[in-house]
Amino acid sequence: MFRFLLSRLALIVPTFFGITVIAFLFPRLLKGDPVLLLSGERGVSPERYAMLNEQFGFDRPLIVQYFDYVWHLLGGDFGTSIATKSPVLHDFFALFPATVELSLFAVTFAVIIGIPAGIIAAVKRGSLFDQGAMGIALAGYSMPIFWWGLLLIVIFSTTLGWTPIDGRIGLRYFFDSVTGFMTIDALISGQRGAFSSAVSHLILPTIVLGTIPLAVIARQTRSAMLEVLSEDYIRTARAKGLPPRRVIGVHALRNALIPVVTTIGLQTGLLLAGAILTEHIFSWPGIGKWMLDSLSQRDYPAVQGGLILIALVVMVVNIIVDVLYGLINPAIRYRS
């Protein structure tokens, strides 16, 4: 297991450097003077320009600049945002909990509906439920989620008035952020109605963000279940008279879920990387919206740092998924 982990970590090193190359080159590939782009200045005196030029090190060879950049990164210096004037790392961790909270809700939503739907569809293969559920799943998989979000807002927020349009909590609630998770902080604050306000703000974004993972999980659970159900040991279990619920719920499900768990993990990684479209539509103050805003405000140091941090999140989650996969799948564990 330890060697398996080591080999996975070894793969990360070149990928990480590739990511830093992209982040390093990004402002240098943009049209315009990188000194002005990175400092956020529009028109400066020659002296100030020379000073900035030296500060960013653009007068030195590109390769030196790159290693300097990586050296700073390894020291935890991800640059300073032009928009907020604070370290990019600080901004990232201030916003990350909002993305984590939304992602966890979305994945939970997708799992709670997707896995049972997939199981029932597989067990009742060819039935009306199977066809209906898989039709809906494919439609969900084909959904332009920015439109889906707008549609839900029009129906449930503006027409029916059931849910708030955007943000994380009602304006009249104010309390200190302890965990960064609005639902938990609302409970801690003890204010009446704060928790339900936070939850009501989460409903639509959760559905929108969870739609595609839900479709993927439902489809995959069904196909994994179908495969397992045709195995000999399932026939044996049935033949020896075990109740169907036990055959499906214990014998089949345990093996069928192995690939599904991997999918859930990979989907979580993608969601944690920032749900740009969902966060944009619901003005959800997370990583995705931050990146989009930084790009449109030309806050390039934030984009640079964000790119690396986001890629790191994806990589770390993927490793965790790999390790989990090894833990739940003995075939992999013993081979390595």
Binding positions for other proteins, rule: CB under 8 A: 11, 14-15, 18-19, 21-22, 26, 29-31, 135, 138-139, 141-144, 146-148, 150-151, 153-154, 158, 216, 219-220, 222-223, 227, 263, 270, 273-274, 276-277, 280, 288, 291-292, 295, 303, 307, 310-311, 314-315
**Min. distance of Cβ 179 from other proteins in angstroms?**
25
- Measured CA angle at 82 (ends 80, 86), to 5 deg: 45
Token digits for 168?
Answer: 């994380």
**Min. distance of Cβ 233 from other proteins in angstroms?**
20
Name the residue nearer to other proteins (CB basis): 146 or 175: 146
**Type of residue at 15:** T
Name the residue nearer to other proteins (CB basis): 185 or 285: 285
CA dist 289 and 211 (Å) reads 19
Rg, C-alpha atoms of the chain: 24
**Min. distance of Cβ 54 from other proteins in angstroms?**
25
CA dist 108 and 111 (Å) reads 5
CA dist 34 and 31 (Å) reads 8
The number of residues in the chain equals: 336
Question: What DSSP assignment string belongs to 278-313?
Answer: HHHHTT--SHHHHHHHHHHTT-HHHHHHHHHHHHHH
Name the residue nearer to other proteins (CB basis): 28 or 90: 28
**Min. distance of Cβ 150 from other proteins in angstroms?**
5
Name the residue nearer to other proteins (CB basis): 52 or 292: 292
Name the residue nearer to other proteins (CB basis): 95 or 216: 216
CA dist 213 and 164 (Å) reads 24
**Min. distance of Cβ 183 from other proteins in angstroms?**
24
